Chains A and B, each alone.
Chain A
Amino acid sequence: MYSQKVMDHFTNPRNVGEIENASGVGTVGNAKCGDIMRMYLDIDDNGVIRDVKFKTFGCGAAVATSSMATELVKGKTIQEALKVTNKAVMEALDGLPPVKVHCSLLAEEAIHAALWDYAEKKGIKIEGLDKPKSDIHEDEEQEED
């Protein structure tokens, strides 16, 4: 059902973990639907993503898209990271089954949510970044929509 690349990223996910005192953290999705992604970004003074980590509760595709998304944004500038769309994540994974496309959307949203958090903490506005819809903060996680 999954491509070799998806299986590779699922079984050996890149950049799993947390970053202490991260520049930005974004959590998207909800437990009700069975997918939650959390992305940690470490952004330097030049606006370059020095490090990125993730944690995901979800299916194989959810883990693989998170892993691939972290690979795609690592070492990139904020503006470059914004261009990492769900389509880019999917292509990099050699495609996803149709029912799993939402996982790649979640990965894109997780990056945006983490960038939004960074912008809020810094008190800046990132060009081209809107407030992510499904961002959920830690205290709200138990809430069912």
Chain B
Amino acid sequence: MEKKIYLDNAATTKTRPEVVEAMLPYFTELYGNPSSIYEFSAQVKRGIDEARAKVAKVIGAESSEIFFTGGGTEADNWALKAVAEVYASKGNHIITSKIEHHAILHTCEYLEKNGVEVTYIDVDENGIIKLDQLERAIRPTTILISVMFANNEIGTIQPIKEIGAIAKKHDILFHTDAVQAFGQVPIDVNEMNIDMLSASAHKLNGPKGIGCLYIRKGIKLRSFIHGGGQERKRRAGTENVPGIIGFGKAAEIALETMEERARKEIRLRDLLMKRILDEIPFVRVNGDKVRRLPNNVNVSFQFIEGESLLIMLDMNNICASSGSACTSGSLDPSHVLLAIGLPHEIAHGSLRLTVGHENTEEEINFTVDRIKEIVEKLRRMSPLYEDFMKKKQ
């Protein structure tokens, strides 16, 4: 197949043509600064307001509760650092999970160096957070619970409503990093008792460099970026207008097409998983089989290493990713795969394939055929496989 097969939609997605089209006028025609007084700029401001409403609608929030940021990572940083600072008089304890994105984990590590105490809750073998452990970890000084909505590597969806209920019961703020879930699965911030939520446009066929933090009305949270009065003084700096417009459009389409997309993606996802499990020996699926993002497949092939697999897939024009150490530049494989209890050598042999609405069954079948060949080739040169087969004899 000459054409590129893109199966890395959890990393980023292709910007929809409709989104690009919506953005374009805001570069060359509607370029006014939304903070200016003249009518030319008021038009731009209206565009932003509309986009904000579209983003808010995805999670059942009010427009005024959406604050645009430079992306999901910024939103995560803002939520954690600002809560730690603003609520310092109430306490200095944060609860999170072991499988968060690095935007949360590394921010927590930073906060720990500054006197904040963080408890990292375990997950079970499918990546679902241990709710009893979470509730037991609550102290009088706990000021925030931050648990991701869905995991970026293994696709496991957390019991967010239950976590929200626990947070509410103990009167603790609840933040969720919903970067992978926003626009992909139904979210209702009120029903789920979510106080803060991070999202990013480029994961839902929107542009890169734009995201948002939802902050429930009434929650005190200091500014993250200081300067002008943009975003109601909470996030200063002239707005990324085309980005915001693009985010709005992408959110609107994501909400409209959610059911239909999910159906299609689940069909492709399940075909991928089924064929891999049926046709390749010594393989396991990582993550929960039911509570799972529609687009996520994560498998581990025993006896082989992920980076080799990725390069060989790349030579077949197939884009995927892995939790292998070699792909991260460190010696340790993915913290998520280790947290669900995989031994190192199995974690090194992991492959993540995340489908999108544009993928076809033909692409999936072609990909599985190539994976089969590559896994076989790599196993033929693997000393681990050799030892395993000898022991079996």
Q: Mark B153-174, 1 if CB is under 8 A from A, else 0.
A: 0000000000000000000000
Stretch in contact with the other chain, from A10-18, A83-91, A118-126: A10-18
Q: Does B331 contact A (CB under 8 A)?
A: yes
Q: Which residues on B sit within 8 Å (CB–CB) of A7?
A: 311
Q: Does B274 contact A (CB under 8 A)?
A: no
Q: A56 to B383, Cβ gap below 8 A?
A: yes
Taking the closest CB of chain B, its distance from the CB of A100, in whole angstroms, is 8
Within 8 A of A (CB), among B339-366: 343-345, 348
A57 in contact with B303 given A10-B311, A11-B315, A34-B348 (CB within 8 Å): yes
Q: Which residues on A sit within 8 Å (CB–CB) of B119?
A: none
Q: A55 to B382, Cβ gap below 8 A?
A: yes
Taking the closest CB of chain B, its distance from the CB of A69, in whole angstroms, is 14
Q: Choose among A35, A59, A60, A62 the residue with the greatest number of B CB atoms under 10 Å from its CB.
A: A59
Q: Does A81 contact B (CB under 8 A)?
A: no
Q: A31 to B348, Cβ gap below 8 A?
A: yes
Within 8 A of B (CB), among A22-60: 27, 31-38, 54-60
Q: Does A127 contact B (CB under 8 A)?
A: no
Q: Does B312 contact A (CB under 8 A)?
A: yes
Q: Does B329 contact A (CB under 8 A)?
A: yes
Q: Which residues on B sit within 8 Å (CB–CB) of A11?
A: 312, 315
Q: A33 to B312, Cβ gap below 8 A?
A: no
Within 8 A of B (CB), among A97-133: 99
Taking the closest CB of chain B, its distance from the CB of A81, in whole angstroms, is 20
Interface extent on B, as a size class?
Answer: 20 to 34
Taking the closest CB of chain A, its distance from the CB of B89, in whole angstroms, is 44
Partner of A34, one of B344, B385, B387: B344
Within 8 A of A (CB), among B79-134: none
Q: Does B368 contact A (CB under 8 A)?
A: no
Q: In the complex the two chains form, what is the Cα distance from A34 to B324 in whole Å?
A: 8
Q: Does B34 contact A (CB under 8 A)?
A: no
Partner of B308, one of A33, A38, A59: A59
A57 in contact with B315 given A32-B344, A33-B325, A62-B305 (CB within 8 Å): no
Q: Which residues on A sit within 8 Å (CB–CB) of B348?
A: 31, 34
Q: In the complex the two chains form, what is the Cα distance from A18 to B382 in whole Å?
A: 11
Q: Which residues on A sit within 8 Å (CB–CB) of B383?
A: 27, 36-38, 55-57
Q: In the complex the two chains form, what is the Cα distance from A31 to B383 in whole Å?
A: 10
Q: Does A141 contact B (CB under 8 A)?
A: yes
Q: Does B70 contact A (CB under 8 A)?
A: no
Taking the closest CB of chain B, its distance from the CB of A66, in whole angstroms, is 9
Taking the closest CB of chain B, its distance from the CB of A115, in whole angstroms, is 18
Known: A55-B382, A57-B382. 20 other contacts (CB 8 A): A2-B311, A10-B308, A11-B312, A13-B381, A16-B380, A18-B386, A27-B383, A32-B344, A34-B326, A34-B333, A34-B345, A34-B348, A38-B383, A38-B386, A55-B381, A55-B383, A58-B305, A60-B308, A61-B326, A62-B308
List 10 A-B residue pairs with CB atoms under 8 Å apart, sorted by A's residue number: A10-B311, A16-B380, A33-B344, A34-B345, A34-B348, A38-B383, A55-B382, A57-B304, A58-B308, A60-B307
